[in-house]
Structure 1
């Protein structure tokens, strides 16, 4: 079985990491002749900052590509027969590639869109609770960052609930998803500080946040 071969797993993880590391936002803005996206707005390479610099259309394309680069390696590994524990490791590797891309001195985005992609590939039904959480928090507070943080927390939470249920996916599945969520939340640490201080901007009714869900 592919999931029982350590060398195969290492290769899959490396492929997922480098797939996730492609800085689509940076590349698209440069190809559009708009310069370096990191020199504008929040300095992020994610879709929201891309939309500020290159327009909404370019932002949407960046969002879709950032989702795709998380989706593709996990989807292919799933089709190849890797187990849920191995898929969890690949999901983490892809998000790590986006957050710590080696092409940009290990400085990348916040990982939310890529995390969305890996979840859609690994287990689409697990997107329901995070998406409901995100939309509810956004409606209630208008803070995209808070919605993203709480949505990220829902992902390992679901696996932890299953770990104590009849189905029991095992901690080998839970731990990588937990690490993924912690990474995404940690990348929002400046947003958390502003939320605590009451200075975080809202999606509407004021200046838009520097750190949108697509970062």
Structure 2
């Protein structure tokens, strides 16, 4: 049963909403336009349409949220087993089988998963992101910092994390479950930020 969920969730995650929208509406291949990223940001950059960008953003978020809610509330799986299909939603988005394993960077789909799993981690993620972006002014670098900051904070301050976060998350081993899910999905997102980080480092080195 777990393998079936994994396959279904990967295929759902693989639905390239941005690619489909741009192909139908503009007759363009989004993977060959702008940054080549199949997501809301590149949709906005290529089309100049905030409406199109928001449609893709909302669609990708829902693509993570609805399947995750259904899995968490109705699937006959242990919560630790659920980490695999939930992560595969983002794997599918980032490496879509429908478009030769191209895809987006997984942020909106991941946010949908985390909203379903526990909204607290979305708030923490956004807080670290905006704090980093305030100083760095680069979305890709801020994303990487925010993804690394939460696990680092829990590892450096395990006592306060357990004392203050665990009750909010539900108690028991929920903090470590959410942290494991966050690290699993975060790793998939980080893979898509390697090249943007290299470009950012090169540009700053040139300066």
- TM-score of the superposition, structure 1-length normalised? 0.78
Greater fraction of residues in helix: 2
**Partner residue of 1:114?**
109
Deviation at 1:186, TM superposition (A): 2.0
**Structure 1 residue 76 corresponds to structure 2 residue 67:** no
Number of aligned residue pairs: 192
**Partner residue of 1:16?**
9
- Runs of at least 4 residues off by over 6 Å: 170-173
Report the aligned-residue RMSD: 2.5
**Structure 1 residue 134 corresponds to structure 2 residue 158:** no
Task: State how far apart, in whole Å, the 2-side matches of 1:135 and 1:120 are.
Answer: 18
**Partner residue of 1:31?**
24
**Partner residue of 2:166?**
none
Deviations 1:156-191 (A, max 9, x none): 5577659x9474348776545323212211211112
**Partner residue of 1:193?**
198
Task: State how far apart, in whole Å, the 2-side matches of 1:169 and 1:22 are.
Answer: 30
Which residues of structure 2 form unaligned runs of 5+? 164-171
Do 2:6 and 2:88's aligned partners in 1 also have CA atoms closer than 8 Å?
Answer: yes
**Partner residue of 2:119?**
124
Task: State how far apart, in whole Å, the 2-side matches of 1:87 and 1:110 are.
Answer: 21
Say which SS state the counterpart of residue 32 (structure 1) adopts: helix
Deviates more, 1:137-146 or 1:165-174: 165-174
Do 1:85 and 1:173's aligned partners in 2 also have CA atoms closer than 8 Å?
Answer: no
Task: State how far apart, in whole Å, the 1-side matches of 2:154 and 2:64 are.
Answer: 19
Which residues of structure 1 form unaligned runs of 5+? 1-6, 201-215
**138, 144, 153: which is aligned to 1:143?**
138
Task: State how far apart, in whole Å, the 2-side matches of 1:190 and 1:178 are.
Answer: 20
**Structure 1 residue 103 corresponds to structure 2 residue 103:** no
- TM-score of the superposition, structure 2-length normalised? 0.81
